[in-house]
Structure formats: structure tokens, C-alpha cells
Amino acid sequence: MDNTVIEIQDAVVSYREDVALQGVSLEVRKGEFIGIIGPNGAGKTTLLTIVNGLGKLVHGQARVLGSWLNGSNSINLRKRIGYVAQVERIDPRLPINVRETVMVGCYGRLGLCRRPTRAQWERVDEVLEMVGIAHLSQRPIGHLSGGEYQRAAIARALVQQPEIFLLDEPTASIDQKAQREILSLIQLIHREYDMTTLFVTHDLRTLPPVCQRLILMKDGRIWQQGSPESMLREEVLTQLFGAPISVATEIAPVRAE
Amino acid sequence: MTGAGMDFSILQYHFMQNAILAGLLGGITCSVVGVFVVTMHLSFIGVCIAHAAFAGALLGLWLGFNPLIGALLFSLAAAAIIGPVADRGELNPDTSIGIVFSLMLGLAFLFMGLMQGARTEALNLFWGSILTVTQQDLIFLAAITGVIVGLVAVFYKEIQAVICHREVALAVGIPATVVFYGLLFSTGVTITASLQSIGGLLIYSLILNPAAAAYQLTYSLKRMLFIAVAFGVISCWAGLVASYFFDVPSGAAIVITSAIIFGLATAFSPKRKVKGWQQAPLAG
């Protein structure tokens, strides 16, 4: 039985003169947790946008959850894909609270002209409880700290009942304690919900231990891929980032937690 | 004003009843679209669309067709040009919107300069004349108000998602781009419908001020909509009363009233203690 949920063939993406992805091919099986690492500008985020149909392919094709992506079906596919970006700057005066923000995750599946049901609001409250911010549900979204905001973003993705979970630097710009809590939560969700997860980071210390396969990107290409054990080696990482990386001091302590 | 109190006998006149109705409808619809542009931080785009409508109306007057049609076409065209420019980031949005804005103002003055004879009607479009609103203007304004309020009621959750979290809305499968352009076009249509009564130079204050005042007072979008509408209608009616009793231009009185309401809302805002935008790095 074919359990491939993402299949990308020879993908090329460009933003005017800049080529963001150059002939990337990738297969992801159901239930995999894949880490995507690389320096800034390597094409990591662009790869995620191909999966959720927000990126425009100038060459190649992508099949996600059984459908070949075209301009017309990507909006329906996005309803089945949870996406958490890095902490964004939010206007503290924004007129929306945490509970309403999390409910936005349901709106795609709910469809136009239909209001959320009581069961959906109860589901939002359950998920807020699960991510540990139920006590903040009535707080304006712009009043949250970085770690709290990311929990709200994860809750929003969860109420969407996604089959694929895309995480784009979810621990960037938050302190180490909050980083650890967010990483634990991501691993818990991956296991509990049997999710297929793609986790992008440029900070090797935030790579969750649950990661089964590591994709190393450089200059818009998949430079190498393999098990974390085979990829997280000093000579490989030093070549990838173009600067000396010490596995013993920078990665090993975090992965051991 | 009489010694014993205000003389409200003026209300029996048909033109004043029309003006009060125009104030109610204009106050509602301008404030509702104002909530969209204020929450999305797109105030300058709205100013630009307002001036495009004004230029279009003057073109209509110059060439002899219905100015409202010109206003509608120009405002929709401006929204269609500015939206992608602001979105794609090909040019700095402030620069590109500023160029479109100045072009519209230039066209408005050009059309005005090319007109033959008296320019009373054109000047009315500048300042607005709520006291001379016709039955036809009112029907058009009522229809637009009904459509805008109806759309907000039906698509409230999509609008809330797009104006508060546009990128998220796109990522969860909401047709966010369609909703965004729908909001810009609604702004254009609202400005067109209110042009006759409030005036091309003043209309945007009535869109911005009540919504900006409401933004200072609540963290709930629903409450913000109701407060903005109340402020918009109060501005129109209080401006009308001031215009009558102090013999000043009605459009100017309406806008100044709405600015005073904004000043008071800001002074008493519970959000005053909230610091500016979150600064990175963020604490956990």
C-alpha cells in the first residue's frame, strides 16, 4: 500500500531573478518526522510552501495527500495541513482574543457561510487545555509572550485536525525554557495524533529527538539527507553552514534531554 | 438656538429628514468599512481610494455622465491597482500608494480645470452637501449599506480571520485573497455611495475616525463594529446639528465631530498603557 503523503519531483521555484529551489525531489511517508536544516536562504521555508500549495512551481510537480497540486486544489489541501510559522510581531491592540484566534484553524474546513458549532468551541477549549494556555483564552492575542503565542499557534493548527504538520522555525525568537516546552509539545502531538511532521530550523539545538530523517538544504537544493545520527557530524555540518560546528557542545546536550 | 433650549422644528423639513437618514446610512457603512482598514493598518490605501472616487466623479461631471459611475469605476480601479502593489512588495507600498494618490489628485484638478462654466456641482463633491441629498442618493446609499452590513453578517468569520491574521487565514484554507480584495472594493463602493453627502475630501475622515476611536476602546471585533457605527452615526447627526445651529458647512462639522470623538476615545482608552509592537527577542 502506498503510504507516501508528500511526493515532490524536480521542483523549481523562483522569485524574479532569485531561484529559491533548484530541482528538489522528496518523498515523505505517513507518520514520518522530518527535520529540515540549513543556513538562511537555503530554501527551507520555500520547500514548506510547496507542500501547502502557497509556493508557485515554475517547474516540476508535487503530490500531497494523494492529489497532484494545481492552482485550483491547493486551497482545499491547505485545510488538511497545519502550519506554524515563527513568532510574528502582533499589534497588541488587535481586536481578537486567544480563543478566537485558535478557532480560525477551524474556519477553512468549516467552509463559507457556516458558523462554528458549540462542539467546535468545546474542542478549542480542550486543545487550549492541552497546550497549557486555557487560562489565557480570553486574553487579547497581542498580549501574549513569544512562548504563549507559539502555543496558541500550535493549538490553532491542531483544531484544524491536520494530516500534515508544517513547522517553520517555531522556536525562533523565544527563550530557552519556552523552546524546550514547545519542542516537548510538538513531539507529543506528533506521537499522539500519528502526524506527518516537517520541522524547519536553522538552529541545530532545537532539533527534536523524535526526528527520524534529516534533510540538509543549501543553495536551494537538498544537499544531503539521512538519519540524524549520520547527518549530525561535525564535518558534515561545518561544510553545510560554512563555519565550524561543535556537535559535542552545541547539539548533543539538547538531543540528550 | 432658543433661550429655553434647542429648536428642533427644523426636523419637520423634508431636506433635514433626508440629511438625518443620509447621516445614519453613511455613518453605518463608512464606520463598518473603516473597521476593516483600521484593523488591517491600511489607512493610506483608503485615503487613496477616496481620492480616486473623487477624481472619477469629476470625470463624470466633465464628460456629462453620472458622477457616481465615474467614482465607482475609479475607486474599484484604484483598489485593483493598489492591492497587488501593496501585496507583492515590488515597490515600497508607501511610495507606490503615494504615487497613485497624487495621480488621482492631479487628475481631479485636471478634470475640474477642463470643465466649462460654473463648477458648483464639482465643488459640492469636494465638500459634500448632506442637506441637499436626493431621494435617489438615499436609495443608493441604503442599498450599499444593506449589502455591506449583509456581507459582514454572512462572512463575519472569514473577515475576522483576514483582517486579524491574514497569513494564517491563507494557510488554513480560507479564500483570504478574495476576502481581502472584497474588503478593498467594499471601501471603494462605500466611498462612492457617500461622496455626495460627505464630499470627496472629507469622506475618508468619516471612515477612519470612528473606527480608529473604537479601536482604542475594545479588544472585541464585534464590539468594535458596534462602537464604530455608533460613533459614525453620532458624528453625522451631531455635525448636522452643529451645522444648522452655527451655520457652518455640514461636511466639515461632521468630520470635526468625529475627530473630537477620536480624541476623547484616545484620552480615555484602556489600551493607552499597552506598549508598542512586541519587540524581538520575545520572552517565553
Q: Which residues of B touch A112 (CB under 8 A)?
A: 155, 158, 175
Q: Which of B39, B154, B169 sits opposite A104 (nearest CB)?
A: B169
Q: Do B164 and A96 touch (CB under 8 A)?
A: yes
CB pairs under 8 A between A and B: 128
Residues B148, B186 contacting (CB under 8 angstroms): yes
CB B190 within 8 A of CB B207: yes
Q: Which chain A residue shows the shortest CA-CA distance from B272? A: A93
Cβ A179–B224 below 8 Å, yes or no? no
User: In B, which residues are within 8 Å of A90 by CB distance?
Assistant: 277-278
Given a contact cutoff of 8 angstroms between Cβ atoms, the answer to whether A1 and A56 are in contact is: no
A113 and B276 within 8 Å at the Cβ level: the answer is no
HSE of B199, CA atoms in CB hemisphere, 13 A: 23
> Quick check: B175 and A75 CB within 8 A?
yes
How is residue B271 annotated by DSSP? G
Q: Name the β-bridge partners of A12.
A: A22, A59
Spatial distance between the Cα atoms of A156 and A106, rounded to a whole number of angstroms: 8
Cell of residue B109, nine digits: 484638478
Query: Pairing state of beta strands A33-37 and A196-201?
Result: parallel
| DSSP label of A140 | B
How much is the pLDDT for B281? 39
More confident residue, B82 or B36: B36
* Helix, strand, or coil (residue A162): coil
Complex ipTM value? 0.87
Write down the pLDDT at residue B88. 66
Is the CB of A107 less than 8 angstroms away from the CB of B277? Answer: no
Q: pLDDT digits over A150-177, tens only?
A: 999 999 999 999 999 999 988 887 888 8
Instruction: Give contacts of B171 with chain A, Cβ < 8 Å.
Output: 52, 54, 78, 81, 83
**Taking CB atoms and an 8 Å limit, are A174 and B282 in contact across chains?**
yes
pLDDT value of residue A235: 87
Q: Which residue of A has its CA nearest to B90?
A: A16
Q: Which residue of A has its CA nearest to B151?
A: A113
pTM above 0.95, yes or no: no
Q: Residue A178 forms beta bridges with which residues?
A: none
Spell out, as residue ranges, where chain A has pLDDT lower than 70.
1, 248-257
Subunit contact B171:A52, Cβ cutoff 8 A: yes
Of the candidates B186, B189, B182, the residue with the CA atom closest to the CA atom of residue B68: B189
Residues of B in contact with A78 (CB under 8 A): 170-173
Q: Do A95 and B165 touch (CB under 8 A)?
A: no
The predicted pLDDT at position A251 comes to 61
Q: What is the pLDDT of residue B80?
A: 85
- As a whole number of angstroms, the longest Cα–Cα distance in chain A is 56
Digit-coded pLDDT (tens) for B166-204: 889 999 999 999 999 899 889 989 988 888 777 777 788
Instruction: Count CB atoms within 10 A of the CB of residue A119.
Output: 8
Give the angle subtended at the CA of B154 by the CAs of B148 and B159, to the nearest 5°.
75
